[in-house]
């Protein structure tokens, strides 16, 4: 035999039946002790002459009956338990009848009228409880409480009429004051009904393992012993009557406790459990948020590291020193909006007399923009190396090469960049250039301080190669010694201050005019400083500035 399985089975039966065993044992022991005390001290004679104990139990039952009614009545809008509401009205009817007894309204009738009301209340309780626990009312239907109140009132009136009838009193009692045959049959019938109700509630408690049903089963078992004690009555108000009333008072108290648990205490316990669960969930959520925050922080640190790496790659590709000779010099200034700039520039010496100049702006900011600027830079550099400079001399062909290469790449379709590429010949002074959609006006600064706007029509480098083949146009302008060429991206003229005012081309021209007599390095630095002062904070877009100076021969 498996000892562990047997032990587990024993404790399962023990936990299921322990409350029944204890209640049954206490009821039996108390019944025999009361009979022994009555035999030894003849308490029945004292109790018959002095009904104080009996009246005490009646008042207690009266209070409990009204308490059960009020709990069921006022918690119904929240519980919507129709069975509990009907039970409350049953106790209301019994409580009103006990109230009449306590006030002594029926004292003008026969001696046994108040005792008859007890039998009547017990009978109505047993019948109603057996119906309620056999056919449970559906809670989906709301019961009109006024109808139940009318039923309780009719029961009270009918009960008073029965109590006041001598014929009914004679039917239920003998002339010696003991129970008649009819009374005994009614009490036995109550015993059967209480046994049936006890069985029904016990089955429910077994299936649901609910403390409320277990408490109800104990209360009904005690009610059964109340009826058993009533069968032993030899005279009204004797020891058996008091014992029966005691059992009934205890059962009413237990019933009130079970209803209190169901209607008042259990919701608060459920609320407390929900609160505890919510607090546990909040603790778990805090831990989860902390964990996710750490993950995001790690991801952010990795992103910053990747961004720093990309920035290093981007900066390594930009020329550290711009080429120059006795005929031309260059200066650059840029102000990135983010850690990674979307603007790029490129100055390369093609041969002894020609210089390639490029400035561009890619869509967006950050890593994607930096990668696109690196793509443009690498394509220009590879074209320079593959053609040994020959492919870099005609600006329109350079832009066409970039357009075709970009359309063959795997960049997203919504990405694009705009640029301007030009070639300056130091021997002839001719600057030949082509626009790839750069949306700013190149400026020519003359030695006398006048500023000339240059043509700049062109098509952006974008992914429309499958439907459009643009023709890039070459423009030419003759630069004299002392002329300066100023190229810049739209981040400069479109920059806004705290009043949402744009920096504008006119302000740029004004700064250029103010510093036209200075060198190009000083001019570039002055423009960038003025842009920083104007925005007052970090620029919303990248700002890149490239200035070429055609030097005088002496």
CA distance between the termini of the chain: 118
Q: How much is the CA Rg of the chain, to the nearest whole Å?
A: 52
Give residue limits of the domains in the chain. 51-280, 318-550
How do the residues of the chain divide into helix, strand and coil, expressed in percent and rounded to 5? 60, 15, 25
Which range, of 235-239, 247-251, 259-263, averages the lowest pLDDT? 259-263
Bridging pattern class, strands 343-349 and 430-436? unpaired
Query: What does the H/E/C string look like for 484-535?
Result: EEEEECHHHHCCECCCCCECCHHHHHHHHHHCCCCCHHHHHHHHHHHHHHHH
pTM for the model: 0.52
Mean pLDDT (whole number) for 158-164:
71
Structure tokens at 479: 């630069």
Distance CA 392, CA 381 (A): 10
pLDDT surpasses 50 at 518: yes
Mean pLDDT (whole number) for 226-230:
85
Q: What is the pLDDT of residues 276-303, one digit of tens each?
A: 888 888 888 888 888 888 888 888 888 7
Whether the CB-CB separation of 190 and 126 falls below 8 Å is answered with yes
pLDDT surpasses 50 at 133: yes
Q: What percent of the chain has pLDDT over 70?
A: 82
pLDDT surpasses 50 at 108: no
Whether the CB-CB separation of 473 and 434 falls below 8 Å is answered with yes
pLDDT band at 340 (very low <50, low <70, confident <90, very high): low
Q: What is the pLDDT of residues 365-391, one digit of tens each?
A: 767 777 888 888 888 888 988 888 888
Mean pLDDT (whole number) for 316-341:
80
Whether the CB-CB separation of 23 and 219 falls below 8 Å is answered with no
Whether the CB-CB separation of 89 and 147 falls below 8 Å is answered with no
CATH of domain 51-280: 1.20.1070
Top-tier CATH class for 318-550: alpha beta
Place of tokens 């059964």: 224
Mean pLDDT (whole number) for 119-142:
76
Q: In what order do the strands lie in the sheet with 484-488?
A: 328-335, 543-550, 484-488, 443-445, 451-453
pLDDT surpasses 50 at 173: yes
Whether the CB-CB separation of 421 and 434 falls below 8 Å is answered with yes
pLDDT band at 549 (very low <50, low <70, confident <90, very high): very high
pLDDT band at 406 (very low <50, low <70, confident <90, very high): very high
Whether the CB-CB separation of 218 and 23 falls below 8 Å is answered with yes
């Amino acid at each position: 035999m498996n000892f562990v399985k047997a032990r587990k089975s024993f404790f399962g039966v023990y936990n299921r039946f322990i409350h029944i065993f204890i209640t049954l044992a206490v009821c039996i022991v108390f019944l025999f002790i009361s009979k022994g005390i009555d035999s030894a001290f003849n308490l029945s004679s004292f109790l018959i002459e002095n009904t104080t104990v009996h009246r005490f139990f009646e008042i207690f039952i009266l209070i409990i009956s009204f308490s059960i009614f009020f709990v069921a009545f006022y918690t119904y809008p929240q519980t919507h338990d129709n069975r509990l509401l009907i039970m409350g009205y049953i106790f209301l009817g019994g409580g009103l009848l006990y109230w009449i007894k306590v006030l002594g309204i029926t004292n003008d009738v026969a001696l046994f009228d108040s005792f008859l009301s007890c039998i009547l209340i017990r009978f109505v309780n047993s019948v109603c409880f057996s119906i309620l626990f056999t056919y449970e009312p559906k809670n989906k239907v709301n019961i009109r409480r006024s109808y139940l109140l009318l039923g309780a009132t009719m029961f009270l009136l009918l009960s008073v009429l029965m109590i006041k009838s001598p014929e009914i009193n004679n039917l239920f009692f003998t002339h010696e004051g003991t129970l008649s045959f009819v009374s005994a049959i009614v009490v036995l019938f109550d015993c059967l009904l209480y046994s049936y109700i006890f069985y029904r509630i016990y089955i429910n408690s077994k299936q649901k393992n609910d403390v409320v049903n277990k408490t109800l089963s104990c209360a009904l078992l005690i009610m059964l012993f109340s009826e058993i004690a009533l069968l032993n009555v030899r005279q009204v108000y004797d020891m058996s009557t008091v014992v029966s009333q005691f059992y009934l008072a205890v059962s009413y108290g237990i019933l009130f406790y079970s209803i209190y648990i169901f209607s008042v205490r259990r919701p608060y316990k459920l609320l407390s459990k929900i609160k505890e669960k919510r607090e546990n969930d909040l603790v778990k959520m805090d831990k989860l948020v902390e964990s996710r925050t750490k993950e995001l922080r790690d991801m952010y640190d990795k992103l910053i590291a990747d961004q720093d790496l990309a920035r290093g790659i981007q900066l390594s590709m930009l020329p550290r020193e711009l080429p120059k000779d006795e005929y031309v010099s260059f200066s650059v200034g840029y102000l990135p909006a983010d850690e990674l700039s979307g603007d790029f520039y490129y100055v390369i010496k093609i041969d002894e007399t020609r210089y390639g100049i490029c400035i561009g702006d890619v869509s967006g900011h950050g890593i994607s923009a930096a990668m696109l600027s690196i793509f443009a830079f690498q394509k220009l550099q590879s074209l320079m190396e593959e053609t040994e400079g020959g492919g870099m001399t005609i600006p329109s062909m350079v832009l066409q090469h970039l357009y075709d290469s970009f359309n063959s790449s795997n960049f997203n379709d919504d990405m694009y960049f705009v640029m301007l590429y030009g070639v300056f010949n130091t021997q002839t002074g001719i600057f030949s250039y082509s626009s790839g959609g750069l949306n700013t006006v190149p400026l020519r600064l003359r030695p006398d301080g006048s500023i000339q706007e240059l043509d700049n029509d062109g098509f952006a480098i974008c992914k429309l190669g499958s439907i459009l083949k643009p023709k890039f146009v070459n423009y030419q302008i003759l630069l004299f010694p002392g002329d300066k060429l100023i190229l810049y991206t739209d981040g400069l003229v479109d920059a806004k201050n705290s009043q949402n005012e744009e920096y504008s081309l006119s302000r740029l021209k004004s700064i250029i005019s103010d510093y036209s007599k200075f060198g190009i390095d000083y001019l570039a630095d002055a423009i960038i400083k003025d842009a920083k002062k104007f925005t007052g904070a970090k620029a919303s877009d990248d700002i890149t500035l490239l200035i070429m100076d055609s030097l005088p021969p002496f």
